[in-house]
Structure 1
């Protein structure tokens, strides 16, 4: 699927900035990442805890529902599977919600995703990136610093939660922020699943 342009998309070399609400101002003293929901015991991580987890470097294509696609961006971050290793997930869990800051609420934004497609190197909570025009650099606050989820290329980028704060494990699918406003639950760009 690498460098494959979905229908209705155009390629850009830039990484456009689009977001809803205020830009989160990172405070390491108060920042926490929570793993909760259908788990035996929830876990809470500090930013230092997150940075001590094994890291992954991977190129992930991005496809935004606003019709731009960007190829060849390399990200460094924590793979989703590393976070799943920190909790005992109950039987029957099929989906997650990735939460993020929205206008001061640590859990004000969310995006729903099935767990199964997120076990590879292309589902990352990122903090650094590079491409052909840029050397390694931290993601900016407007791109989701200190931690942003980047989903596999099989999902539109609104599933890529900025200012990520947690994961909730669910036994059934449940609409997130944009899904409640009429966007697709499944969000496959190659099937043009933009809206319900």
Structure 2
């Protein structure tokens, strides 16, 4: 089956590396994952606790706003819905912000997303990957090690936070890092929603 390339994109077999700020240097004893915002009780998990959660393997298509697309990359990770089992949301939660490290700030980077579109197996916090040219390997620090969010293919990849540190649950949409700089709030590559 031929893959549909979104408008303005070209296909690549490599996984280009683009990021904002310094590459985060993982220290397990300092790392934690926070579930907060519109929740009945905030929860913070250690790296060991995160890695004991049920795992999912999903094959993704990735579309970067810088115009490259990569098809059929497989990832192993923890689905966002597994984190939902650990908390009780308040009523009317509609969006999340997924945070990551930026130049030493645990919550310096963020991407906003609608929660309803993140409840399948194609919303993963990933730690290893493979494609037709390589067997399973850990994602590199430049790709977001130890944990990186990969969104469904209906979003440009800037919504895929590297070096993740937590999820904030929200009752309304709110701009993340790139959205505050003029990028699209919704970021659908098939509608070419690059900028506001």
Q: Secondary structure at the match of 2:13?
A: coil
8 Å contact from structure 1 (residues 2, 61) kept in 2: no
- List gaps (5 residues or longer) in structure 1: none
RMSD of the TM alignment (CA)?
1.0
Give 1:129-140 correspondences, 5 Å limit: 129-140=129-140
For residues 132 and 60 of structure 2, the distance between their equivalents in structure 1, rounded to whole angstroms, comes to 14
- List gaps (5 residues or longer) in structure 2: none
For residues 5 and 172 of structure 1, the distance between their equivalents in structure 2, rounded to whole angstroms, comes to 31
Is the aligned partner of 1:99 residue 2:73?
no
Tell me the TM-score normalized by structure 1: 0.99
> Which portions of structure 1, spanning 4 or more consecutive aligned residues, are displaced by more than 6 angstroms?
none
Indicate how the Cα distance of structure 1 residues 62 and 2 shifts in structure 2: closer, same or farther if over 3 A, else same: farther
- Superposed CA deviations along residues 139-192 of structure 1, whole A, max 9, x for unmatched, are 000000000000000000000000000000000000000000000000000000
Q: What is residue 70 of structure 1 aligned with on the other side?
A: 70
Matched pairs, number: 196
Give 1:1-196 correspondences, 5 Å limit: 3-196=3-196
- Superposed CA deviations along residues 124-153 of structure 1, whole A, max 9, x for unmatched, are 000000000010000000000000000000
8 Å contact from structure 1 (residues 148, 160) kept in 2: yes
- Superposed CA deviations along residues 75-125 of structure 1, whole A, max 9, x for unmatched, are 000001001111000000000000000000000000000000101111000
For residues 118 and 27 of structure 2, the distance between their equivalents in structure 1, rounded to whole angstroms, comes to 28
For residues 186 and 74 of structure 2, the distance between their equivalents in structure 1, rounded to whole angstroms, comes to 24
Structure with greater proportional strand content: 2
For residues 58 and 93 of structure 2, the distance between their equivalents in structure 1, rounded to whole angstroms, comes to 26
For residues 2 and 64 of structure 2, the distance between their equivalents in structure 1, rounded to whole angstroms, comes to 15
